[in-house]
Every structure is written in structure tokens, then in C-alpha cells.
Structure 1
């Protein structure tokens, strides 16, 4: 196989800011979830934040995951949609500098506006996102590279795509093609709001099953319509051959298709939870596609995600990820 992971998702540029709970309340912003907004609303909120933008970087759930897997040593491909503007070129340059192949290299970028995410981090380290998808809302089947899918060990599908009709169609088409070509399918729910507001659509994408599902406890219970994680994990076994449930400061729970594995957390001072789940997925996918067990891949993912929440932003440097990999796998 040429690639360890082929991913699809919404390509956006993150604008990270620091704000307060009071600010969120005053602007009627639902805390700790991702909310889709139009460009005017996003710019209006940003203009009212006194601290301004503290950091700008390429983002998107699947992009963060694929960057982590690639920086750890995996070979990855990412299909997305950005516009022929400053943010679009910024986003693409980040991926190519890391060594990730994309569908964007094969054609001219289209006229439009690249998606942006306003990430508001409160003092309790929770992140609240207002997302304007821009041209990424048009991501569809034509952005898929089926040759790359067929040359990958895993397809990774970002749950945020479920919010648009063309995105859902692409999710289902990619999954169908992967299954027909014996490529394993992994899916992340991405955010509780995607399961809360698009549960039926997400269920349609999942279909009979996926090979590997990533979610947190809240998403697991929302999707299975249960009120405790014990019942939720029993229900998840019906739709996912294997799955990972992240549990924040309590670590994570992994089902390897046979047994449940509890992954201990690494205690850190959390500063920004943005990207913790994405980092976990990326490190885990790198591990299982490069000869490691679910348990050891889970340990790597737990360590990497604990480090990423101790700083602002959803990504780590190449040197930091190599340091983590060495620490976990060589002791």
C-alpha cells in the first residue's frame, strides 16, 4: 500500500482566540461545541473579542488527524476543498511542507472563500467553535481520489462532513468504494453537535458497520441513545467492529474487536482542549498501520493528546511528536 491513511474532511483555517464564559453568553454562543455560522456572523464575533487572534494555522478535524499521523512517520493522503485565496494557499502549503499528498495538487484552485473556524478558548481550557465553511461546504464526490483510496490501508472519514448534502454523499461514496476494494473504513463523529443534530444522517453514513469508530463519551451516548457509557459501548459493538471512546482526563476505552482495553491518561495541566480527539485519532491510526497493537497505539495516542491539550492549538511539532513516539515505544 502506498498510503497508511486516506482522509476526507472540511479544510478550514483556524483563528484561535481567548475569551470568557461571559462573552459567550453575551453573544448567545453555545459553549464547547461547533456551530456553523455565516461569514458576517463570524467576523462580527471576532471583531468583539478584545484579545484578538492569538494564532492562525491550518485546521479541520481530519486535517489535524492526518497531520499527526504523517508527522509520526505515516504516509498520508488528504482530500479536501479550499479556494484560490490567501487562506487556501496557506492551508495547502502547510500540508505539502509536511509531505502529505492531496487532491489539490492536480488542479487549479477554484475562486471562492476558504473556510475559517473561530476557536474561542475559555479559562477552563474548553474550546468553542464558530465555523464558516466557505468553499468547503461544496466538498463532494468530485474531490475524492479513488486511486489513492484503493492504495491506502485505512479510509478516515470526518464526521463534520455530515452537515452538508454533498459532504454526506462523498462520505457514503468513499465508504462504499473502500469496502468494495477491501480497504478498512474508520470514522470520527467529530463533535457532539454532529450526532445531536444529524443523528439520522450519521446513522445512514455508518450503515451496517464501520471497521473503526472514534468518538468521545457524549457522542457515544448521543448516537446510541443511552445515558451511560456501559450501555453505549454495548450498542456501539453493533455498528463498529472496533472502536475508541475518549474520556478526557479519565483516559480512553478501546474495543479491539475482542476485548475492552482501558488506556490510562497522562496527567497534565490542560490549557486548550482543541484538537485532542484529532490528535488521538492520528496517533492511533499511525500506530495500528505501522505494526503496533491497539494497546500500544492507544498509549501513544493518549500521550500525544495529553501533550496537545497542554498548549494552545490542535497540532504538535515534528520534533515533539518524534520525542513522544520514542518515549512511548522505546521504554
Structure 2
């Protein structure tokens, strides 16, 4: 097996986040589920955007956020995702390349437009996400290059992108290429609504031994196993994957690696501002630690440090030097 060119190659939604502060009354008025994520169509994206207050635009997308963190931690990364030939597509491509991530997928055209996520942040720092997938849901399987997949030590897949048919086929192809090349496959469950729609698929991937590293949060792991008992859900899932990573918000995170359990407390935050991207950046730290061959307790600590940085400001891309923060924590 040849040495990999990339530490991590991710496939995910190419999205620009539009973030606005709001209040619980607005969430209720718009009939949104606070703290959750829902898919919306073009008309709803327009009407909700018009109703939102002043907003800021920041490139996002779950897997892309994770790569941004990884790149800032010093790792070579590449991204596969679909944008349109429009202003937001140019913003996304510029931002991800400026972070040092290789991104070579050509734009789709003018329509459908580049995906955007309208994020409403309430005073308690909870984010309610409304995603118009646009061009991102038309990532074609032929854009998944076999040699590119084989050039990465870990293939990281975003559960959100499993929902549309075309990118789901692209991700299945990528898994086949990665496994044929002897590479590891990491998968993030993303959201309970995705699990509800594709639970059988996800469980089958695990049963078939195609997932080496699984990322989830407490809600997602319970949803996956359809069991309100967190510990039973963890045990059932950990039996199917070599490494399970599960975040628990303010209660920290756990990992179960080949039957051995590890835990880490959440890092203290002076001021909680916006929880957008907390799980994405936690994955950055963990995957960086794995790429560096660190023990799992250090990998979890790296994840906690990165997550704490991201929730201390708006947006899901790091603003502080997370590499320096990690080095300071680990000594």
C-alpha cells in the first residue's frame, strides 16, 4: 500500500451558512424546531431569509467544517462537494481553498444555486438550522475519482449528504474505492432526521464492516438504536464498529475503541455564543489525533478543545489558533 497523500478526504454538502441572531418568539412564529435541522425548498429559503434579521455569510457544511479544523491543525485534506456557478459557489470555493484544502470539483452551472443553511441563533446559543441543499444534492458518482479516494488515509462521509439519491450513490462508490485501497472509512450520522430516513442503510453499512469510525451525538445514537437508554445504545453500536465517538454536549464525550471505553469532560468556555459546528470541530480534533497516532484519550481531548473554541463565537470555522490551543492543553 502506498503512503497516502492526504490524511483525510471528505465528501459532504458544499454549503454557505447565513447566520442571524433571533429569539424564541421568532422560532415559534416560523414554526421551527428549536435546536434542530430541517431541509427546506427554494421558496421557503427565500421567505425565511426575507423574515430573518441582519445576517453574516460564512462558508459551512458539516464535513467541510471538519476539514477546515483539520487543516488548521496541520493536516493535508481534500474535499468533494458540489457548488453552482454563482456568487455563493465562488465564496465557498475561495474559502475552502484559502484554508489549504484541495477542492477541484467543477461548478454545476447556474441552477440549481449553491446550497445555503439559514441558521437562527437564540440568546441561549442554540442554533436552529434550515438547509436548502440546492446544487449540493446533485453530486454525481462520476466525480468520485478512484485514485483520489485511494490517496487518503481516511475517507470521511457526512450523513446529511446520504439523503439525496445522487450523492448517496457517489458515497457508496467512494466506500468501495476506499475499502479496495485498504483505507479507513469514517462516517458521521449528522442528525436524527437523517437516521430516521436511512437507519436500515446505516446499520447495514456497520453490519457489513464498512464503517471503521462512527461519529454521533447522544440524540443520534439513541435514534439509531431506537432506544431511549444511552448506555444500551452505545453498547449496541460499539459492538458493530471498531471505533465509536459520541459527543454529549456539556457532559463531554466518550469513545469506545475495540471494546475499551474512554471519556473526556467538556472544556470550559468563558461565554457560550453559538453551538453551530461543535460536533464538526470535535471531529476535527479527534481525526487529527488519529492521524497523528495519538492515544484515544488525547484524541478526545483535542476534540474537546476544538469544540470549545468554535462555540465561543459565531460560525463554524475556527477563529483562534486551535493548533496552539491543543498544544497548550496537551503540553
- Tell me the TM-score normalized by structure 1: 0.94
> Structure 2, unaligned stretches of length 5 or more?
none
1:189-200 alignment to 2 at 5 Å? 189-200=189-200
What is aligned with 2:68? 67
What is aligned with 1:89? 90
Structure 1 residues 145 and 264: CA distance shift in structure 2, 3 A: same
What is aligned with 1:111? 110
Number of aligned residue pairs: 325
After superposition, what is the alpha-carbon deviation per residue over 1:243-293, rounded to whole angstroms, capped at 9, x for unaligned? 100000000001122310011111223221110000011111111102222
Report if aligned partners of 1:13, 1:87 keep a CA contact under 8 Å in 2. Answer: yes
3-state SS of paired residue (2:133): strand
Alignment RMSD, CA only?
1.5
Report if aligned partners of 1:155, 1:184 keep a CA contact under 8 Å in 2. Answer: yes
Structure 1 residues 277 and 177: CA distance shift in structure 2, 3 A: same
In 2, Cα distance between the equivalents of 1:52 and 1:207? 46
Report if aligned partners of 2:155, 2:186 keep a CA contact under 8 Å in 1. Answer: yes
Report if aligned partners of 1:81, 1:143 keep a CA contact under 8 Å in 2. Answer: no
3-state SS of paired residue (1:57): strand
What is aligned with 1:241? 242
Report if aligned partners of 2:276, 2:311 keep a CA contact under 8 Å in 1. Answer: yes
Report if aligned partners of 2:273, 2:314 keep a CA contact under 8 Å in 1. Answer: yes
> Structure 1, unaligned stretches of length 5 or more?
none
Q: Which of 288, 304, 307 is 1:305 aligned to?
A: 307
- What is the deviation of 1:142? 2.0
1:287 lines up with 2:311 in the alignment: no
After superposition, what is the alpha-carbon deviation per residue over 1:134-185, rounded to whole angstroms, capped at 9, x for unaligned? 1111013122122121011100000001211112212211112111111000
Report if aligned partners of 1:19, 1:123 keep a CA contact under 8 Å in 2. Answer: yes
What is aligned with 1:156? 156
After superposition, what is the alpha-carbon deviation per residue over 1:224-249, rounded to whole angstroms, capped at 9, x for unaligned? 11111110111112321111000000
What is aligned with 1:273? 275
